[in-house]
A and B are shown apart, each in its own frame.
Chain A
Amino acid sequence: MRIMAQMSMVMNLDKCIGCHTCSVTCKQAWTNRAGTEYVWFNNVETRPGQGYPRTYQDQERWQGGWTLNKRGRLKLKAGGRLKNLATIFVSPKMPSLDDYYEPWTYDYETLTTAPLQEHTPVARPRSLISGEPMQIGWSANWDDDLGGSAATAVSDPILARVSTKIKLEFEQTFMFYLPRICEHCLNPSCAASCPSGAIYKRAEDGIVLVDQDQCKGWRKCVTGCPYKKVYFNHRTGKAEKCTFCFPRIEVGLPTVCSETCVGRLRYLGLVLYDADKVLAAASVTDEHDLLEAQRGVFCDPHDPAVVREAERAGIPRDWIEAAQRSPIWSLISTYKVALPLHPEYRTMPMVWYIPPLSPVVDAVAETGEDAEGKGNLFAAIDQLRIPVEYLAELFTAGDTVPVTGVLKKLAAMRSYMRDISMGRDADPSIPAAVGMSEQDMLDMYRLLAIAKYDERYVIPAAHAEAAHGLEEIATECSLDYEGGPGMGGSGPFGEGSGSNTPLAVENFLALKDRQTADEVTPTGGQGGRVNLLNWDGKGSPPPGLFPERKDPS
């Protein structure tokens, strides 16, 4: 037994309203740079839909993740080590920019410089890649809310597997949102695909990161990841991926996407697992057994034997306590309502989902029946094959039994809690029908419906108060110092080359400059850019902020 700790996430899909706040704040925090215009570490997809990049779930096409070879051993679906190296000169299964989308901006300048004319001037879209005018035809969420899906959703690889006859009816049937980040897998195929060994899993908290200095831009990780959550920065020539906001996690703060989630649907916490069992669990023959196999890898943090082993493995006491209070452990293993996304990729993903009951509730409500009555919901879950099968393709490799089980638990919780909130007597037969005690039901309700900040996010701080060093990475692109390569200029060997000035040094120098200068330092950014964040209102405003003052004389 080799106990390791994994920082992981559960998302409650019933609560997702598809507002994209997580995506936008994540983008602002991490990928708001040249080279990553098309990159969304966090994206929200409407299901059914093609996803981002388009049809990424079709592994026959993209060859991501793991598969079993003839002897039943795990191998990369894109090919073993030799094949991986042999195809290094051009990656055969890498999505092109068209599969993501061509990022663009608008030619806003024409709005102010256009001459007087009969028609209002229009800011036309321009490609951020080539700079040419372009026709916008796709984006990271082009089919949001099933927009245009009559034409595009037929290409949904999941829908294609579920059934052919429902394709025309699904719009009346169901729709839900699927927010996605990197899965920070226990058996990451991106790391396994990386020829340079630049992608690594942190032994302390299991966060999967790319070493930017060691990455040589071979692009194999992009193919290797079945979730297509490793991206190629086309300016720096390096791979980048969701970092699980590790600088925040290290100091006990939730990730940006969780912190800003409007629906409060994200849970963060530790899971203890037995690293020795991972390979066997990822290699089970029947895809339907993968869910149970992965649950079997996790260790009960309340078990004294596990605690002893964890301490022996050097996991600090407060981490073990955090694992015991972890909402992730409760949702995955105690209540068993959370399910992994695409376990059949065999990467042992660690961002799990509580499947949405809403499509079923909506369907019942449309019939005019009581949409929260236990009987009606249970019957609907059994009858509404399409949503259940679709969810099963996402979360259980097509096995409808676990999905039905989860949905029934959620349905039972609604009925049970309705009695209580309506002032009626609680019906103990409802939790019993789904194999739960009344106390469990109440606890689950609390976790799913009420849980406050510190119950949703149980994050032990890292045992290295390296805040000083972490600040370099945490707060800003470390290349964005004045005159540095991140500021639009480029180093001697192209974008992003050359050593970087650490942020703290830069701040220190700037501060010193301000304090010792005779007058307030002008804050005008270079290249005509105005950085309002640096202007404290003192002295002259940055050039370009206000029109030139007329001479008072």
Chain B
Amino acid sequence: MSGVLLWVVIPYVCLAFFVLGHVWRYRYDKFGWTTRSSQLYESRLLRWGSPLFHFGILAVFFGHVMGLGIPESWTSAVGISEELYHVMAVTIGAVAGFCTLVGLTLLIYRRRTVGPVFSATTRMDKVMYLFLALVILLGVWNTVAGSVLNLNGEYDYRTGVSEWFRGIFLFQPKPELMVDAPFGFQAHAMVAMLLFALWPFTRLVHVLSVPVFYLWRPYVVYRTRSDRAGNRAARPGWSPSDDRVRR
């Protein structure tokens, strides 16, 4: 029963928060929808921390798309063996996770120690950092402890966590798969879900504004007020045409 609550109800609630929260935030707070960059205050640490973190987390994201989104049968169908897949996933995942972690550490250190950056940090930022750091730590731990050190014995998340994850989106929830998963994976998934629920209410909204359209749009953007043009109130014929000029 608690399995249904933890791995069916909470996921859908978090998903609803994520989607509706973004809709609400977009309508309520377009002006606050920004990266809140603090580069103006400090750029020496940011120069290293930010790209490390962001490129790392991008690699991690695509890794998750592969691992959670693509069923094992598909990869074996194109001839990628189980071992090859795992070697690839673990090495790339570990490197990306390590970069992310180092970047995040640098960024949090910077945020705490550089005065102006710290004073520009909101309470929501701190909560967000807590969840983000926890998710990443647990993820790295799962990769290192689970797959490299083999502390918990063999666990193939591609037939466990991944199927549960896809089940959520296919409306065929399989909570038993998560109940059987090792604690590390359970914790990682749970904290991640909570982070997604928090997402729309933090600065993380900037992720949804990835400006990919920049690659296609014309360089110079023109906007017109023509929808309002021409509706100037008609002036009486006897008023001088230049009545706005001050004399």
Which residues of A line the B interface, CB within 8 A? 81-82, 84-85, 88-92, 94, 96-97, 129-132, 187-188, 191-192, 194-197, 199-204, 212-219, 232, 234-238, 251-252, 314, 316, 318, 453-454, 461-466, 490-500
Contact = CB atoms under 8 A, between A and B. Distances in A.
B1 interface: no
Contact of A465 (B35, B125, B233): B233
Interface in B214-247: 214-215, 217, 219-226, 228-233, 241-242, 244-247
Nearest to A85: B214
A196 B41 contact: no
14 contacts: A89-B50, A89-B55, A129-B41, A196-B209, A204-B225, A215-B34, A216-B206, A216-B211, A454-B245, A454-B246, A463-B231, A464-B229, A494-B122, A498-B28
B116 interface: yes
Contacts of B43: 90, 94, 96
A202 B244 contact: no
A188 B223 CA distance: 14
Nearest to B103: A89
B73 interface: no
Which of B39, B54, B219, B223 has the largest count of A CB atoms less than 10 A from its CB? B219
B228 A252 contact: no
Which of A196, A453, A461, A493 has the largest count of B CB atoms less than 10 A from its CB? A493
Given A202-B224, A234-B40, A462-B225, A497 B116 contact: no
Contacts of B39: 90-91, 94, 96, 219, 232
B136 to A, nearest CB: 16
Nearest to A197: B221
Contacts of A129: 41, 116
Contact of A84 (B41, B119, B213, B214): B214
Contact of A232 (B32, B37, B206): B37
B50 A251 contact: no
Contacts, number: 183
A93 to B, nearest CB: 11
Contacts of B46: 90
Given A129-B116, A465-B232, A97 B40 contact: yes
Interface in B52-66: 53-55
Given A89-B55, A216-B206, A492-B29, 5 more contacts: A81-B214, A90-B47, A194-B221, A204-B225, A461-B244
B71 interface: no
Contacts of B29: 491-493, 497-499
A131 to B, nearest CB: 7
Contact of B50 (A90, A218, A461): A90
Nearest to B40: A234
Contact of A234 (B120, B209, B230): B120
Contacts of B211: 85, 88, 195-197, 216, 218
Contacts of B122: 490, 493-494
